[in-house]
Amino acid sequence: MAYLRIPSSDRVIEDAESIRRFLLPHGIHYERWPVAGRIDRDATQEEILAAYAPEVEALKESGGYITADVVNVTPDVPHLQEMLNKFKQEHRHAEDEVRFIVKGRGIFYINPENGDPVFSIEIEEGDLINVPAGTKHWFDLCADRTIRAIRLFREKAGWTPLYTGDAIASGYQPLCFGPNPIATKGFRIEQAAAIAV
């Protein structure tokens, strides 16, 4: 489950529906896909794409995506830090950045154009996010430096980061809560309340 954080107001949202509603005005699509017992998280790219074929095909049709692959990042990837440094700078893409997380965790920081404060969304296994083309953002991995994700593209060559030249990202350190978040002093954790009927 994702965790959304607004650092300027020390606010954390961890309920999936509340996160979805928060992201919609920013044009960001978020949802959860069922993963329990679906496929081994360490399966081959082909096996993962086959297991999620119905969802991937629906996304291709609705979003005009023509290709999908699986990216696999671990601490053993050669030159990992150099690769991460490229994505830790504020940038945009000419097309949507669509990710479904199969394994691991990462964190997107979004810098809204409308003047709203910067916010982050930590994504993990089962989270689907679509950051639309032109959105100013940056990305980092959490402490385990592992992520495996299905990616969708409108161009076979994929996308290239278009750097804004703004150093804003240097003022933010990745804060990942992980699968068992603990309310950090000064943070307000928002969850949906269960109502008995």
C-alpha dist (Å) from residue 132 to 3, 16, 26, 101, 184:
19, 19, 9, 17, 30
Tell me the per-residue pLDDT of 160-194, one tens digit each, with 9 for 90 and over: 899 999 999 999 987 787 654 333 333 333 444 33
- What is residue 197's predicted lDDT score, i.e. its pLDDT? 31
Q: Yes or no: say if 172 and 125 are a contact pair by the CB < 8 Å rule.
A: no
pTM for this model (two decimals): 0.87
Q: What is the DSSP letter of 193?
A: P
pLDDT, tens only, 76-131: 999 999 999 999 999 999 999 999 999 999 999 999 999 999 999 999 999 999 99
Distance CA 80, CA 46 (A): 24
Task: Tell me the average pLDDT of the chain.
Answer: 89
- Residue from 73, 151, 69, 66 nearest 106 by CA: 73
d(CA 162, CA 154): 17
